[in-house]
């Protein structure tokens, strides 16, 4: 017989098989009362306390225990879980909290759950689904809607279960799939309604994250694609999309109607519109945001703007351009993140400009001076971003004013042709007198020693931003060779460079830009007879158009 001073011996782990057998036996004779169920639940909670007191809790033991308990709860007939005494028991609340904690782990682990965590997550969800299936009928219409909703949840559960089983067999884990966020959203909605009525106020941050994750997933893109092509949404897409809409625009959704289908892109447009309005409000305080947060917000913004034929695109694009431009024109000197925020703003412009519609609006805003101010920044990252943006902006500018550029080009070529008619001796004399061209030996010695950065700086100084992407990564000697390739066959090289800029860098190379490029290079590459030679190939190029 032990005394109080004797060390306590660890009690054996609960025999869950025994509980399962007892529940099955009493359920058969309909003798499993709410009191009996609560006594079993009390034993489980006491076992948790004993494990903690013995200091034996490890992650593995904890999850094993939770899974065993969940298996026992699943063995109880669902309608018995709806008894007020059972439903209010701390163990049910524990399972609810475990569901929340697993989603928090999923979020903190970059949307990863282990196999064990995923199994527990699914089993806890099944507990609530089975209980809801046995809920009393409020009305025939509501019952029909709830059954359709629960059927969709079971369908989603099955998909995830199949994925987990495959991961176990193929050893390709942990689980990383937007279906987790979909199931999480649908389960939160279930718990907030009949018959549970759990308050969701304290869980708004995790719900918000689930909504944003789904709207940032390929599931959302696929739903958009279906609606754009007149296809019907799946039940899963319908309910998750509707849940996101309720969360984002709850004041606008007066009445739910699950009996109808979402058959148009209008709902997607409304969701994107509301999200963009929220982003724009946040951008009003962009100078005070952490760079990482601002970058994340702008990425989400870009995704919404990429929705095809968004009716409010122009208004949102212009508002975002104004906010970003203001950041670049008036950076706060007091913030320690000044340079990082400038870089984020430039990177956002760089990404947004890949969208032709957004790029067109950028052009109308006359942003070239804004980006020029950063093209000579001491920060290489900022300088490169600004230069890349200018490549697109200046390109669009020249295409937009092509007629005027061609008229100017015609005048220049006509003047060049008149010079060709002058005696060769006079041309050479003019070339000798010109002080704008360096001697061949001096210039050759200079350009062939340029590194990649000096080539880039030269292009920027000579307003040859359009050629930066093509000349990226080449040194002075290679630039010299490119120039002589242009001289050897000007027409062929123009077409080649124009094609590369269009297909690889998504830019436009106008004739005037190409001629300006060759002309500026001639000042550092050519000898004294460059003027005559340049006149010849300029005329040859013009005659091809």
Q: Specify whether the CB–CB gap between 8 and 42 falls below 8 A.
A: no
Range among 99-113, 117-131, 251-265 with highest mean pLDDT value? 117-131
Helix (H) or strand (E) holding 168: helix 140-170
Q: Is residue 543 pLDDT above 60, yes or no? A: no
The mean predicted confidence, pLDDT, of the chain is 77
175: helix, coil or strand? Answer: strand
- Distance of alpha carbon 214 from alpha carbon 240, whole angstroms: 8
Range among 180-189, 222-231, 295-304 with highest mean pLDDT value? 180-189
- Supply the pLDDT for residue 346: 93
Give residue for tokens 């897409």.
Answer: 237
Residues in the chain: 545
Q: Specify whether the CB–CB gap between 298 and 256 falls below 8 A.
A: no
CB count within 10 Å of CB 383 equals 19
Q: Specify whether the CB–CB gap between 82 and 195 falls below 8 A.
A: yes
Least confident interval from 3-7, 203-207, 224-228, 447-451 = 3-7
Structure tokens at 283: 């951008």
Range among 34-48, 271-285, 286-300, 499-513 with highest mean pLDDT value? 34-48
**Residues paired with 355 in a beta bridge:** none
Q: What is the pTM of this model?
A: 0.56
Share of the chain above pLDDT 70, in %: 79
376 Cβ partners below 8 Å, 6+ apart? 383, 460
Share of the chain above pLDDT 90, in %: 13
Q: Specify whether the CB–CB gap between 23 and 40 falls below 8 A.
A: yes
Q: Specify whether the CB–CB gap between 486 and 513 falls below 8 A.
A: no
Range 40-53 average pLDDT: 84
- Supply the pLDDT for residue 419: 52
Range among 72-81, 519-528, 532-541 with highest mean pLDDT value? 72-81
- Supply the pLDDT for residue 438: 42
Range 102-131 average pLDDT: 88
DSSP output for 178-239: THHHHHHHHHHHHHHSTTT----GGGHHHHHHHHHHHHTSHHHHHHHHHHHTTPPPPHHHHH
Q: How confident is the model at residue 30 (pLDDT cuts 50, 70, 90)?
A: confident
Range among 249-258, 303-312, 420-429 with highest mean pLDDT value? 303-312
Q: Is residue 441 pLDDT above 60, yes or no? A: no
Q: Specify whether the CB–CB gap between 284 and 333 falls below 8 A.
A: no
Q: Is residue 403 pLDDT above 50, yes or no? A: no
DSSP output for 361-387: HHHHTT-HHHHHTTTT-SSHHHHHHHH
Tell me which of 514 and 407 has the higher pLDDT.
514
Least confident interval from 217-226, 303-312, 363-372, 408-417 = 408-417
- Supply the pLDDT for residue 440: 45
Q: Is residue 442 pLDDT above 70, yes or no? A: no
Give residue for tokens 């701390």.
Answer: 90
Q: Is residue 334 pLDDT above 70, yes or no? A: no
- Of 50, 42, 87, the closest CA to residue 69 belongs to 42
- Supply the pLDDT for residue 115: 87
* pLDDT tens digits for range 359-392: 888 988 888 889 988 988 888 889 888 888 888 8
Q: How confident is the model at residue 444 (pLDDT cuts 50, 70, 90)?
A: very low
Range 48-74 average pLDDT: 84
**Residues paired with 113 in a beta bridge:** 175
Q: Is residue 259 pLDDT above 90, yes or no? A: no
- Supply the pLDDT for residue 128: 92
Q: Specify whether the CB–CB gap between 157 and 240 falls below 8 A.
A: no
């Amino acid at each position: 017989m032990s005394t109080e001073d004797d060390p306590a011996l660890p009690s054996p782990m609960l025999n869950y098989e025994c509980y399962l057998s007892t529940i099955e036996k009493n359920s058969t004779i309909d003798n499993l009362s709410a009191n009996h169920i609560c006594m079993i639940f009390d034993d489980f909670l006491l076992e948790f306390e004993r494990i903690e007191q013995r200091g034996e809790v490890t992650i593995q033991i904890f999850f094993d225990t939770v899974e065993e308990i969940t298996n026992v709860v699943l063995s109880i007939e669902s309608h018995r879980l709806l008894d007020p005494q059972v439903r209010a028991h701390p163990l049910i609340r524990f399972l609810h909290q475990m569901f929340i904690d697993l989603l928090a782990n999923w979020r903190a682990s970059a949307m990863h759950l282990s196999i064990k965590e995923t199994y527990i997550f699914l089993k806890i969800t099944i507990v609530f689904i089975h209980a809801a299936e046995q809920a009393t009928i409020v009305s025939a219409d509501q019952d029909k809607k709830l059954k359709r909703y629960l059927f969709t949840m079971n369908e989603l559960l099955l998909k995830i279960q199949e994925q987990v089983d495959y991961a176990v067999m193929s050893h390709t884990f942990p689980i990383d799939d937007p279906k987790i966020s979909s199931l999480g959203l649908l389960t939160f909605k279930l718990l907030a309604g009949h018959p549970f009525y759990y308050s969701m106020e304290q869980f708004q941050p995790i719900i918000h994250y689930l909504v944003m994750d789904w709207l940032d997933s390929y599931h959302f893109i696929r739903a958009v694609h279906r609606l754009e092509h007149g296809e019907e949404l799946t039940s899963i897409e319908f309910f998750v999309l509707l849940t996101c809409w309720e969360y984002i625009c709850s004041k606008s959704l007066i009445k739910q109607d699950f009996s109808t289908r979402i058959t148009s892109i209008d709902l997607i447009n409304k969701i994107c519109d509301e999200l963009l309005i929220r982003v724009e409000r946040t951008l009003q305080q962009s100078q005070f945001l952490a760079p990482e947060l601002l970058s994340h917000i702008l990425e989400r913004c870009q995704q919404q703007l990429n929705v095809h034929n968004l009716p409010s695109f122009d208004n949102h694009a212009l508002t975002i351009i104004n906010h970003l431009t203001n950041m670049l024109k008036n950076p706060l000197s007091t913030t320690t993140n000044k340079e990082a925020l400038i870089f984020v703003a430039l990177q956002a412009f760089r990404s947004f400009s890949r969208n032709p519609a957004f790029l067109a609006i950028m052009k109308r805003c006359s942003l070239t001076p804004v980006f020029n101010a950063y093209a000579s920044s001491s920060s290489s990252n900022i300088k490169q971003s600004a230069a890349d943006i200018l490549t697109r902006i200046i390109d669009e500018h020249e295409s937009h004013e092509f007629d005027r550029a061609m008229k100017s080009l015609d005048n220049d070529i006509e003047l060049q042709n008149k010079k060709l008619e002058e005696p060769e001796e006079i041309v050479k004399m003019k070339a000798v007198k010109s002080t704008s061209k360096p001697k061949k030996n001096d210039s050759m010695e200079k350009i062939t020693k340029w590194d990649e950065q000096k080539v880039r700086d030269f292009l920027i100084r000579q307003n040859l931003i359009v050629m930066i992407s093509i000349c990226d990564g080449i040194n002075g000697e290679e630039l010299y060779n490119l120039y002589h390739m242009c001289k050897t066959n000007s027409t062929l090289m123009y077409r080649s460079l124009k094609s590369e800029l269009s297909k690889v860098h998504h830019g436009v190379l106008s004739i005037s830009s190409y001629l300006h490029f060759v002309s500026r290079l001639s000042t550092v590459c050519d000898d004294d007879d460059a003027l005559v030679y340049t006149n010849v190939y300029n005329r040859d190029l013009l005659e091809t158009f």
